Amino acid sequence: MLRTKICDILNIKYPILQGGMAWVSDAALASAVSEAGGLGIIAAGNAPADWVETEIIKAKQLTEKPFGVNIMLLSPFVDDVVDVVLKHGVSVVTTGAGNPGKYMDGFKSINAKVIPVIPSVALAKRMEDIGADAVIAEGMESGGHIGELTTMAMVPQVVDVLNIPVIAAGGIADGRGLVAALALGASGVQMGTRFVATTNCTIVDGYKESIVKAKDRDTVVTGRATGHPVRIIKNKLAREFMKLEASGASKEELERFGEGKLKVAARDGDLQNGSIMAGQIAGLIKDIKPVKEIVEDIIKEAKDSVSKINGLFEV
């Protein structure tokens, strides 16, 4: 129940993708999401290609269902990561933080479905023109590197100019969010923050607890001055970064300060000096649960949510 076009394209049960999150989305998390009926995604982030290769091999052992790899296009290892993806015949590739145009022929040569993350209508159109199978319209409610538009404003505008399916991302963590996305014309959703606060996610517990503790206004956008705005949970690092930014520090200085800080939080467990990337929807997340339960609950909630709305018409 609840099938959309993206389910057929990706050969998955539910129209729910897990965001590719650097240092977070490994084979354990991705395979759990795929096993639950969604699409799990391993994030290459800034990791070397051999790490990505190991995770792809592990994921193939953990699930027979489709999974994807997210390629972060600013990575210094991007060319090698693309080669690994081609070598292992990964069935779905999502891309972030740039234009994947020059890799498109390679992805097509292995029949991978290509789904770029886009922050605007213009880029969405360009992706359709170069042969993308779908796009992920990611609003600025999201954690990590973000664009300018909100999910609510961007998704229907992208839907109206594309023929390929649109996945909504940013600010979605439950069944109501899924229904809202479908109402805007999206074919499915991608969730990141919700899948961090799960028992299947292998990062330190403190990071997950920071998401559970976060309230609605507890994230901030840092790094606007660098041209790479990044949403993180307020902590010591966020305050120091904002102070540095306000003091007029150079782009290079800010980038140097931010470099490597996601690992410091997610893997080394230093939640004051590390960067806790998370979306605005963290405020809605109240527990750390198994992925399977989250996916099942979302589908149930979505159905209830639609019934409630239908009830409003039956007057």
Spell out where the chain has E strands: 16-18, 40-43, 67-72, 92-96, 113-118, 135-138, 144-145, 166-169, 188-191, 219-222, 230-233
Residue 290's φ and ψ, nearest 5 degrees, are -65, 145
Task: State which residue, 40 or 45, has the beta carbon closest to ligand TUI.
Answer: 45
- When asked if residue 100 is in the footprint of ligand TUI (CB under 6 A), the reply is no
Nearest residue to ligand TUI, scored by beta-carbon proximity: 144
Task: State which residue, 275 or 305, has the beta carbon closest to ligand TUI.
Answer: 275
* List 5, 57, 64, 74, residue binding ligand TUI (CB under 6 A): 74
Residue 191's φ and ψ, nearest 5 degrees, are -125, 135
Are 78 and 71 within 8 A, CB to CB?
yes
- When asked if residue 174 is in the footprint of ligand TUI (CB under 6 A), the reply is no
* List 30, 39, 59, 72, residue binding ligand TUI (CB under 6 A): 72
Residue 274 per-residue DSSP state: S
Are 40 and 33 within 8 A, CB to CB?
yes
| Segment interacting with ligand TUI, rule: CB under 6 A, options 112-120, 149-157, 182-190, 286-294 | 112-120
Half-sphere exposure of 242 (CA within 13 A, CB side): 14
- Per-residue binding letters, 182-221, with ligand TUI (x by CB under 6 A): ----------------------------------------
* List 138, 141, 174, 218, residue binding ligand TUI (CB under 6 A): 138
| Segment interacting with ligand TUI, rule: CB under 6 A, options 141-149, 156-164, 238-246, 280-288 | 141-149
Residues numbered 214-273 forming contacts with ligand TUI, rule: CB under 6 A: 228, 230
* Residue 235 CA: distances (Å) to CA of 60, 117, 145, 239, 242: 37, 28, 17, 6, 11
Residues in contact with ligand TUI by the rule CB under 6 A = 22, 45, 72, 74, 96-99, 117-119, 123, 138, 144-147, 228, 230, 277
